[in-house]
Structure 1
Amino acid sequence: MAVVMSMHWPEITPELYDETLRRIRWEQEPPDGAQLHTAWFGADGFHVVDVWESQAKCEEFIGTRIGPVVKGELGVAGDPVVEFSPLHHRFVAPGVTGSGSGSG
């Protein structure tokens, strides 16, 4: 069953996020089971909403690719708050494909 993963991680800065993306190669080597990724920065820090094929696939990606980079290589001490919910409905607007960035 597809799930929505929401994450809040105050310690992550735009620079840490960009460096993490570069190192894990999310877009060049998409994680197994990932369906959608959105990320933004608010007054309270970094936020993500993803859609995944399953919670297990997301947790595997966090454990094997994100964790070793963010916690290991980049030395971030804090932990994210992560929540999973069953996906009830998904709509993708016609003509929307690929990745996009609000900053570039």
Structure 2
Amino acid sequence: MPIVLVLQGPTVTQQRYEDAVRRFTGGRDRMEQPADWPVGGLLVHLAGQGPQGFRIIDVWESEDSCRRFGEQLAPVLEEVGITDPPEIHPLQGFVSAATVPA
């Protein structure tokens, strides 16, 4: 069953997100394709600033792939200063029409 991971809160900022991305990509500013993630199973990644702060949303193909990513993610989040815990939920619906240009 697909899993949604949501990361938001006071310590989740655009700067810290960008710092984490650089650690995962070897210095690049953006994660652009599923191969940029350290484990397989990513279906969708979204990140952006909203009225309630910066928010990151991932959709993973399974709980196992989400857990494997979490094992890689936790030390990176700690390094960049993100201490808010992620919310993890089973996915109830998924619709995709097209790739959104950057």
Residue of structure 1 equivalent to 2:10: 10
Residues 61, 49 of structure 1: CA spacing in aligned structure 2 closer, same or farther, 3 A cutoff?
Answer: same
1:37 to partner: Cα distance: 0.3
Residues 77, 34 of structure 1: CA spacing in aligned structure 2 closer, same or farther, 3 A cutoff?
Answer: closer
Residue of structure 2 equivalent to 1:40: 48
1:15 to partner: Cα distance: 1.2
8 Å CA contact retained: 1:3, 1:51: yes
RMSD: 2.3
After superposition, residues 1-104 of structure 1 pair within 5 angstroms as 1-25=1-25, 26-27=31-32, 29-30=36-37, 31-64=39-72, 66-71=73-78, 73-74=79-80, 76=81, 78-93=83-98, 96=99, 100=102
8 Å CA contact retained: 2:46, 2:56: yes
* Number of equivalent positions: 94
TM-score scaled by length of structure 2: 0.72
Q: In terms of Rg, which structure is larger?
A: 1
Q: Which amino acid aligns with 2:47?
A: A
In percent, how many aligned pairs have the same letter?
29
- Note the residue ranges of structure 1 that are not aligned, 5 or more in a row: none
